Structure 1
Amino acid sequence: MLDSAVDNKIHLGKNTHISVTKALIFFIIGILLVIGIWWLVAEIYNTYFIVTMSFPTPFEVFSQLIDYLGGKTLFRATIYEHISASLSRWIKGFLLGALIGIIIGFIISLKDSLYQIGIVPINILQMIPGLAWLPVAILLFGFGENSAIFMVGVVAISPLAISVSSGLRRVPQVNKRVAKMSGLSRLDTLTDVLLPFATLDILSGLRISIGSSWRMIIAAEMVVGVAVGLGFCISSTSASLNYVASFVCIVIICIIGLIIDKLVLQSVEKYTRRKMGFQEDF
C-alpha cells in the first residue's frame, strides 16, 4: 500500500484519495441496493398483489420530487417551507435536550453516589418511547409546534447524558491525580484531561441522539396538529391516498438524515480520531 520509503520518510502517495473514492463507491452501491430492493418490491406488488392502489415506484417518486423541488406546492406550501419548518423544530428541540443531557451527564459523573442515583431516572427516561410523551406534551403545551419541540427534546436527553457520564467516568484515576499534582485548574483538567478521553463516547451518544430526535420530529408532526412540516405532509398525503407524495417526503427525510450523519457527524468523528491518534490519514 505504500508508494515509497526514502530517507526514512514514508510517502503515502494517493492512498488518501483512494480511500475516499472507495468509501464513495461503497456508499453509492448501498444507495443503489436500496433503490433496487424498492423497485423489486414495487414491481412484485403491482404485478401480483395490487388491489386498488399501486405501490409507488422509484421513477414515479423521483419524478414527483423534481416537480416539488421546482416549486410545486404541497398543501399550500413549497417543499422547502415544509423542510424548513421540520428542521427548525428539530434544531430547537435537539439543542434544548442536548444541553440538558450534557449537564446531567457531567453532574452525575462527579461522584459514584451521584451516578448510581442519577442513572436510574436516565435509564427510565430512555425506556419510554418518544410517542408515549404525546399526552404529557398535549397537557403541557396543547396541540401545535411547542409539543413537537418538547417531544424531540425529551428524546435527545438520555443518549447524551449516558454517553457523557460514561465517557468522563472511564478516565483513569492516575490521569486525574497527575493533573492535580501538576497544578491544573478544574477547567484545565476538564478541557485537557477529561474531555479528550470522553470525546469518542460523547460523539457516539451525539449520533444516537441526533438520529433519534430527527425520527421523533417526523413522528411528532404527524400527531400534534401542525399545518406545515414533513411529518404533517406524510400524514396528510397518506390520508388523501397520495402515496407518491408520501414517498417523496420519506425520500427527503432519508436524504437529510444521510447528510447529517455522513457529511457532518462522520467528518467530525474522523477528525477527532485522527487528532487523538486512533486513526491514520490513509
Structure 2
Amino acid sequence: MPDALVEVDGHVMIVTMNRPKRKNAMTLKMFARMADAWRQASADDNIRAIILTGAEGNFCSGMDLRAMAGDVDETDDYDIETRMKAGDNGFIYDGLLKTYRPTKPVIAAVEGVAIAGGTEILQGTDIRVAAAGARFGVSEARWSLYPMGGSAVRLARQIPYAVAADILLTGKHVSGQEAKDIGLVGTVVPDGQALAKAREIAEVIAGNGPLAVEAILKTLHETIGMSEEEAFAYEQPYGQAVFQSADAKEGPKAFAEKRTPNFQRK
C-alpha cells in the first residue's frame, strides 16, 4: 500500500498520508509520492484545489523515529533507492512543502496528531481545518533533533514569536482550539469533520475563477518579506494578466445575468 494516496475528485486533488499503524509517520517514499503529487496538481489545469489529510483519524506523527531506531515497517513498493542514486534528493523537502509550493491552494484537514513533521508540513499549507481534538507541536528538541521541515524559521512568521518559541523550545503540544487561538489554523470543527469541511472549502475555491485564485496565491507566497511598496509593484503584472483574461469578462457578465460563471481558465 502506498505511503501516500493520491486521488482526484472533480477539480480537487486529495493527498492522504497513509501509514495509519504508525499514525501516518513520514518516510522517504511518502515524501517522494507527495512531491510528485504537488507537481502533478500544478501542471494539471483541471485541478483547482488540493486537500492534504491523514488516514484513519490522525494527520501525521512526524518522521518515523521507530524506523530510524531500526524498527522498519515497509509497506510501500516505491523504488526510492533508484531515485536517490539518480541524485534527486530534492523531493524530501519538496514533499514537506518546504522548498516547493503548488500553484493551487493546499487545504489541510487535521484529525488526531499533527506532531513534529505533521506540524511542519502544516505550515506549508494555505488553509487549515482542525478537529477540536487534534494535537499540534514541534517536539524535535525533546529528542535532541532539529526541525528541518522549516519550523525554526516559519513558525514565528505565522504565529506570535513568543508563542512559537515556547512551542519550539519546550516541545509542548497544543489542542485544535489553542491552534486556532494562536492563528496556526483557521477553522476548528468537531472531531471527525475536518475532511468534510476541507472538501466544502475546496469546492468553493474550485468554483472561483482559477486564474484569479492562482494569481492571488502567487502573490501571497512570493511577497512575504517584501515591503508594501515592493509587494504592490510585484503584484501588478499578476493583476493585469487576470483582468485581461476572458474569465474576467465572464465573471461580471454572469453576475449581471444572475447565473453561475463558466470559467475556462482563459
Task: Tell me whether the two structures share a fold, i.e. TM-score over 0.5.
Answer: no
Structure number with greater Rg is 1
- TM-score normalized by structure 1? 0.22
The structure that is strand-richer by fraction is: 2
Q: Which has the higher helix share?
A: 1
Normalised by the size of structure 2, how large is the TM-score?
Answer: 0.22
